[in-house]
Chain A
């Protein structure tokens, strides 16, 4: 990428999408028949009205955005929200039914790695096959061959048929070729999920170097990655942009609340103890979700009913983030906590001051074990969801209170 490219084009719009809509058909036979009709209309150059025909629905409806060099647009949403369809239109694979896409520059798509690989040919031969499909000339591939092989770290196996490669190795080789593209616009779909951690990190390092002088469109279900690289975001739902803007954190929260199931999920129960009530004290409720501010005190109230239990069991409360990673365990009760069972009922509060969890949505799981034998009595997931409010979005689960002092 030449230098003048970077300087004079900072505000230049590379991708412009206006009123984009696309319809799909739910039924195969009907879809094929509409295909025939579209073919005839396409060839005659006549345009039927963009109304929905029977059994059709809008896979994408009225999407608008602009993307400049150096910006990265994140597309998030549930499966079937229309993200991949949008990518296909942006990549020029299918035509929109309404609206217009204007794309300036070379488009590189990391949608399918290793396209054109033939399983019985060797890795080296397939570098040429894949490279040709990505638009390289033979000379370009010749000159980049060593770099590609080195990047893929497959020197030892490069003359082995690709069918004997593991799926991770294939992705490595595919990415190594794709990494040689010098696109103005880069489209990334969920391709990097395969491969081992070392390779994923390597991929992101490469993408990081491409980012500043490229307009990137990134589809992912991995919110940490989205929040790491995106400057703009569209949350899609049923083909529409449900949220759009540069407040990436807000879109991610919205995305997560869609998943907040509020479904109490009993994983294990031996029948000796039952959860009657759980409550978060001092929390406000907003949009059906409990909210705490950063550094608020966490107060959880529990009431259980027990059957023939003499000694209080051990209660372990775990906090999970929305990626289902456990982030913290509240210190369990010990003998000295002196929890008492009264009339087959036990109730208590757990207090934790100064909650330093970072902004986001969390879920609480509880497991109850017998104090003596340590054997599990009850385990419930998602007994409670709550949100921590703070102005800045960070990805580590804790934002620890700190001071900076001149020395």
Chain B
């Protein structure tokens, strides 16, 4: 029979905690799927536009930039591909990253009611969040593919590697989001800060315009760890050889151990947070 001991932890063993965390993720695989299924179904059952909402934000952002560019209001440097494809692909990938950062906090917060009443593997909330991100991303990719053909970019075999780039985006976002979750559950300021910060960060990432050839902005954009994610994904879509591939691989490789660390921290934090939520 399984034995649980609850007491004030004297020592933290990261290895043991990580193992327990991964075991719970495996054990709760049905729960994660069920929660994701529940949320997706509920979301679309109560709306007529349904799936449209998944990409209406990136679509409008892109449209604004396309209009600004085509009307000559602003002058953007040449991107090498049709600007609408550039802008759409940028905002779509960007929206996936933003959604991934918000996902852990949102999902945990949404389950506040159960967290304070029932003991279940909390990791399932994170995993269900990832499922939902994958679902949303899948829809966005379909739209993107339609656009590529519409603008005559055509099919490239590299498009098949796009899921890898998107997975990288989700891993990156989830890692950041998961680190912010414990604090974000205690203070609402964190979610606001994320929304606020990401708005600015978008302009320091080649989302709607290319990296300028020189200047301070170039340095910032080249070092920005989101840049390789956006660029690699876009290069794969339009069939260029990815320029920032190495940086992309490094970012993802750094994120994976950090993601595990964040999972451990999340596991330690939940009881402390539940206490404050229900107190």
B208 within 8 A of A: no
For A105, what are the chain B residues with a Cβ–Cβ distance below 8 Å? 1-2
How far in angstroms is the closest Cβ of chain A from B200?
25
Specify which of A91, A95, A103, A132 is in contact with B8 (CB 8 Å cutoff).
Answer: A95
Docked Cα-Cα span, A104 to B1, in Å, equals 6
Selecting from A107-115, A148-156, A293-301, A393-401, the interface stretch reads A107-115
Given contacts A121-B42, A129-B34, A133-B114, contact A39 B8 (CB under 8 A): no
Given contacts A31-B279, A118-B38, contact A103 B12 (CB under 8 A): no
Digitize B104-118: 1 where CB-to-A-CB distance is under 8 Å, 0 elsewhere: 000000000111111
Given contacts A92-B4, A107-B119, A121-B41, contact A115 B114 (CB under 8 A): yes
Given contacts A133-B31, A137-B30, contact A100 B7 (CB under 8 A): yes
B276 within 8 A of A: yes
B186 within 8 A of A: yes
Number of residue pairs A-B, CB distance < 8 angstroms? 151
Query: B-contacting residues of A (Cβ < 8 Å)?
Result: 24-25, 31-32, 34-36, 38-39, 42-45, 47, 50, 88-107, 109, 111-112, 115-116, 118, 120-121, 125, 128-129, 132-135, 137-138, 184
How far in angstroms is the closest Cβ of chain B from A91?
5
Query: What are 12 A-B pairs at a CB distance below 8 A?
Result: A32-B186, A42-B272, A43-B12, A43-B265, A45-B9, A106-B2, A116-B114, A120-B46, A121-B42, A132-B31, A133-B118, A137-B30
Specify which of A39, A102, A111 is in contact with B183 (CB 8 Å cutoff).
Answer: A39
Main SS of chain A's interface residues?
Answer: mixed
B5 within 8 A of A: yes
Q: Are B276 and A93 in contact (CB under 8 A)?
A: no
Main SS of chain B's interface residues?
Answer: helix
For B265, what are the chain A residues with a Cβ–Cβ distance below 8 Å? 43
How far in angstroms is the closest Cβ of chain B from A8?
12
Docked Cα-Cα span, A34 to B187, in Å, equals 12
How far in angstroms is the closest Cβ of chain A from B135?
16
Size bracket, chain B contacts:
35 or more
Q: Which B95-144 residues sit within 8 Å CB-CB of chain A?
A: 113-120
For B3, what are the chain A residues with a Cβ–Cβ distance below 8 Å? 102-104
For A91, what are the chain B residues with a Cβ–Cβ distance below 8 Å? 118-119
Q: Are A125 and B268 in contact (CB under 8 A)?
A: no
Q: Are A93 and B115 in contact (CB under 8 A)?
A: yes
Q: Are B11 and A99 in contact (CB under 8 A)?
A: no
Docked Cα-Cα span, A299 to B22, in Å, equals 72
Docked Cα-Cα span, A115 to B269, in Å, equals 22
Q: Are B4 and A103 in contact (CB under 8 A)?
A: yes
Q: Are B9 and A36 in contact (CB under 8 A)?
A: no
Given contacts A36-B183, A118-B38, contact A93 B9 (CB under 8 A): no
Docked Cα-Cα span, A234 to B271, in Å, equals 25
How far in angstroms is the closest Cβ of chain A from B124?
8
For B113, what are the chain A residues with a Cβ–Cβ distance below 8 Å? 112, 115
Docked Cα-Cα span, A31 to B273, in Å, equals 10
Residue of A nearest to B128 (CB): A132
Specify which of B41, B46, B118, B275 is in contact with A115 (CB 8 Å cutoff).
Answer: B118
Most chain A beta-carbon contacts within 10 A, residue among B1, B2, B3, B10 = B1
Q: Which B1-54 residues sit within 8 Å CB-CB of chain A?
A: 1-12, 30-31, 34-35, 38-39, 41-42, 45-46
Docked Cα-Cα span, A132 to B120, in Å, equals 9
For B4, what are the chain A residues with a Cβ–Cβ distance below 8 Å? 92, 101-104, 107
Docked Cα-Cα span, A103 to B45, in Å, equals 42
For B12, what are the chain A residues with a Cβ–Cβ distance below 8 Å? 42-45
How far in angstroms is the closest Cβ of chain B from A18?
9
Docked Cα-Cα span, A135 to B268, in Å, equals 21
Q: Are A32 and B276 in contact (CB under 8 A)?
A: yes
Q: Are B45 and A120 in contact (CB under 8 A)?
A: yes
Residue of B nearest to A9 (CB): B1
B245 within 8 A of A: no
Docked Cα-Cα span, A307 to B10, in Å, equals 75
For A47, what are the chain B residues with a Cβ–Cβ distance below 8 Å? 8-10
Q: What are the 4 A-B residue pairs with the smallest beta carbon separation, nearest first? A: A45-B12, A112-B117, A132-B34, A35-B276
Q: Are B6 and A96 in contact (CB under 8 A)?
A: yes
For A112, what are the chain B residues with a Cβ–Cβ distance below 8 Å? 113-114, 117-118
Q: Are A39 and B272 in contact (CB under 8 A)?
A: yes
For A35, what are the chain B residues with a Cβ–Cβ distance below 8 Å? 186, 272-273, 275-276
Q: Which B202-245 residues sit within 8 Å CB-CB of chain A?
A: none
B59 within 8 A of A: no
How far in angstroms is the closest Cβ of chain A from B225?
23
B71 within 8 A of A: no
Given contacts A89-B6, A116-B38, contact A45 B275 (CB under 8 A): no
